[in-house]
Chain A
Amino acid sequence: MKLAYWPGCVSRGFTPELHGAVAKVAPVLDLELVELDRANCCGAGVIAEHNQELADTLNARTFAMAQGVDGAMGMMNICSTCQGAQSECQERLDADTAYREHINGHIEPEGLTYERDGAWWNKNFLWLLVEEIGLDTLKEKVVRPLEGLRVAPFYGCYIVRPTRRLGFNENPERDTYLEQVIATLGGEPVAYAGSHKCCGFPVITMNKATSLRQAGRHMADALDAGADCVVTPCPLCHLNLDLQQPDAERYVERDLGMPVLHFPQLIGLALGLEPKELGMNKHVVSTRDVQKKVAALAAA
């Protein structure tokens, strides 16, 4: 499957292990990813907060580039925040013909146009995996079922709300995909209070307490529910849950030590790839225990 691929900013910045993991996993899933290396940041909701026309234009530019990739089925992103920010812009672009034409006027000097096309889509890797690749196909490729690994899913707000805008009418189970994938990979999905809540990243500079109390609480809930690790499809969530976890411990007044995996890393482990090549040594909260458990599986 050929796809236009938008890796986002953070995967090439502060979470390079994510970018690397995708590069390793894609070929195993028969994905030909054409990286949009000229495309710009999605705005992460902050640019839309500042100026909607600007955010819509910047994303129309990315969409137009993706639509220009010959033979691509659609566009794939690897970040819940990109998904949500881009879906919001796409909703406005698709809703009003005159508005879309106006926005296209800004990218026309580059020879770009965003076409409203019901058949074209922008999907997060999580959605793509379930809807385009299919869980059956995924299961066939699993060589190392993650038996006994208890994984707590953390979606990230931008990929589960608002449901009206994120295609839940056509795909009502999108807020259960992580659990479904974890189970398909042989692992045990863990239910806990924070799975669909907010990591707090959007307010980390503006109100650290509000931000890290959330991150801390959700990691604590996952811990209390018996999870071995958390998995998330959003690198911004990853930053607040992993990079900030030591700080978050202070706000919830308990030791956490909850490793947070990127979604492609979890897949990679089940597909037989090694933790090191998936960048699992580049986390702030050590993933050593998970690695040990996974290594034991290989032996068994």
Chain B
Amino acid sequence: MPENYALKIRRFDPESGEPAYWQDFNVELEPERSVLDGILQVRGDQDGSLAIRCSCQAAICGSCGVKINGRSRLACNTLIGDAAAAAKNGAIVVEPMGNMPVLKDLIVDMDAVHWKKVQRVVPWLLPDGPPPDREYIVPAEAMIDITQSMACIHCGACVSACLSLEVDPEFVGPAALAKAYRFVGDPRDGQTEARLRDLAQDPHGIYDCTHCFQCVEVCPKDVAPMDQIMRLRRRATDDFEIKDSNAGYGHEKAFVNLIEKYGTLHEAQLLPRSYGQGSLIRSQLDPNSLKELAGSLSTVINGLKSGKVSPVKALWHHKLPDQKNVRRIFKEIESKDERLELNLYIVGESGDDEEGAMAEGSQES
């Protein structure tokens, strides 16, 4: 049964000289129809000047990215009944996506931000040498694995929601980095190390991700861009030992080494080790590291002054009673040739009575 819904839509007419403003509309629709259906009803029957990009209406083309009730998502797969239930003041609030310039109403300039960053990661296959006569032979798991990145429909929701982008517009961004993984994870690409080195060394690259899960939360295709960024980091540090100048390698190494040694985090050593590519000694010798440490000096002093940190604490940290068990776990797992990764995107969840995908053979990465 059709119901009445109130839409509060952000309008902007670049030719008017006026700033953006809100406009209220009412539509009649069944609750199972989408917010896009509502917007199209407005455009078709009430105000043809309302501009929104849309095409497939089936969450495949990626055109209709907007913010609904403050959240970046596609308009076509947001049920209008759900949106109304989540609306804070009765009206469903619809705005253009964030982190990108607004061109008109709900249309943003994707070229200026999203596509520019995608172009930056060299988004085409770079094989080594000429192709074979028939197909490249690649493991089935590798193709299935990068299908998750391939599933990206370039809707821009992750770009819109990214909190790093909000404060650092030069951040390469979740969509472009997820796209970069599509190549790093493809055995046919011959530039894996170069790609990783490039994105690890770039101060706005893989180590500029603030790990906030926004992109994972908003992606309509379960691409989980942040997970792809973490895989890029993993491959850069573990497979290629790329010691970037952003302390990304150092931070990861430092954290892992400290837990292996103490079982819990020895914060006082975390900072210097991070700047020393994981090593405390190196942190005191490397000039860049010393520079960073000097920059953190005021923070250290404040910590000491507040009484929350004591010099004793800074120098000494207790080990867990049976830390040797923790060390054994580290040894068992880190000494393996290949990492074990269970990707729920690929295997789904086993029911209570099922053995599980792992039983059929491990997912190596």
Q: Do A and B bind each other?
A: yes
Q: Mark A residues whose CB is within 8 Å of B.
A: 9-10, 12-17, 37-41, 43-54, 57-58, 61, 84, 91-92, 94-100, 102, 106-107, 109-110, 157-158, 161-163, 197-198, 200, 202-203, 205-211, 213-214, 217, 243-244, 246-247, 281-284
| Chain A, residue nearest B295 (CB) | A208
Min distance, Cβ B362 to any Cβ of chain A, angstroms? 8
Indicate whether B233 reaches chain A with its CB closer than 8 angstroms: yes
Residues from chain B with a CB closer than 8 A to the CB of A84 are 213
Docked pose: A163 CA to B216 CA in angstroms: 10
Chain B residues with CB under 8 A of A48: 230
Judged by DSSP, the binding face of A is helix
Give bound CA distance, A54 to B327, whole Å: 11
Could you say which of A13, A100, A110, A210 contacts B325, with CB atoms under 8 Å apart? A110
- Residues in chain B near residue A283, CB distance under 8 A: 306, 308
Q: For A206, give the chain B residue with the smallest CB separation.
A: B207
CB distance A282 to B308 under 8 Å? yes
- Of residues 123 through 139 on chain B, the ones whose CB sits less than 8 Å from some CB of chain A are none
Closest to B300 in A: A243
**Roughly how many angstroms separate A101 CA and B218 CA in the complex, as a whole number?**
32
Q: Does B167 contact A (CB under 8 A)?
A: yes
- Contact partner of A202 among B210, B266, B303, B348, CB < 8 A? B210
Residue-wise interface mask of B (261-293) relative to A, using a CB-CB cutoff of 8 A (1 in contact, 0 not): 001111110110011000000000000000010
**Is B347 close to A, CB under 8 A?**
yes
Candidates B208, B292, B298; contact of A247 at CB < 8 Å: B298
Instruction: Assess A40 versus B306: contact at CB under 8 Å? Given A9-B265, A46-B256, A98-B356.
Output: no
Set of chain B residues within 8 Å of A202, measured between Cβ atoms = 209-212
| Contact of A45 with B211 in the complex, beta carbons under 8 Å | yes
Residue pairs across A and B with Cβ atoms less than 8 A apart, 16 shown, are: A54-B329, A57-B329, A97-B350, A97-B354, A97-B356, A161-B216, A162-B213, A162-B216, A198-B211, A198-B214, A203-B207, A207-B203, A207-B208, A211-B210, A214-B167, A217-B167
Nearest Cβ on chain A to B75's Cβ, whole angstroms: 20
Residue in A38, A45, A206, A284 whose CB lies within 8 Å of B302: A284
The answer to whether the Cβ of B355 comes within 8 Å of any Cβ in the partner chain is yes
Contact present for A99 and B342 (CB under 8 Å): yes
Residue of B nearest to A16 (CB): B308
CB contact under 8 A between A205 and B212, given known A40-B320, A102-B358: no
The reply to whether A53 and B340 form a contact with Cβ atoms under 8 Å apart is yes
A206:B328 contact, CB within 8 angstroms = no
> Which B residues form the contact surface with A (CB < 8 A)?
163-164, 166-168, 171, 203-204, 207-214, 216-217, 230, 233-234, 237-238, 246-248, 250-252, 255-256, 259, 263-268, 270-271, 274-275, 292, 295, 298-299, 302-303, 305-309, 313, 317, 320-322, 325-326, 328-330, 332-334, 339-342, 344, 347-350, 354-359
Complex contact A51–B234 (CB within 8 A): yes
Interchain CB contact (< 8 A) of A244 among B274, B299, B358? B299
CB-CB under 8 A for A37 and B321, given A14-B303, A96-B356, A198-B163: yes
Q: Do A51 and B322 touch across chains, with their CB atoms under 8 A apart? A: no
CA distance A281 to B163 in the complex (A): 32
* 16 further contact pairs, Cβ within 8 A, besides A45-B211, A102-B340, A162-B217: A44-B255, A46-B256, A49-B230, A61-B325, A95-B347, A96-B356, A96-B358, A158-B213, A202-B211, A203-B208, A203-B209, A203-B210, A209-B168, A214-B167, A283-B308, A284-B305
CB-CB nearest in chain B for A112:
B325
B171 near A10: Cβ-Cβ < 8 Å: no
State the CA gap A17–B308 with chains docked (Å).
Answer: 7
Q: Is the CB of B217 within 8 A of A40?
A: no
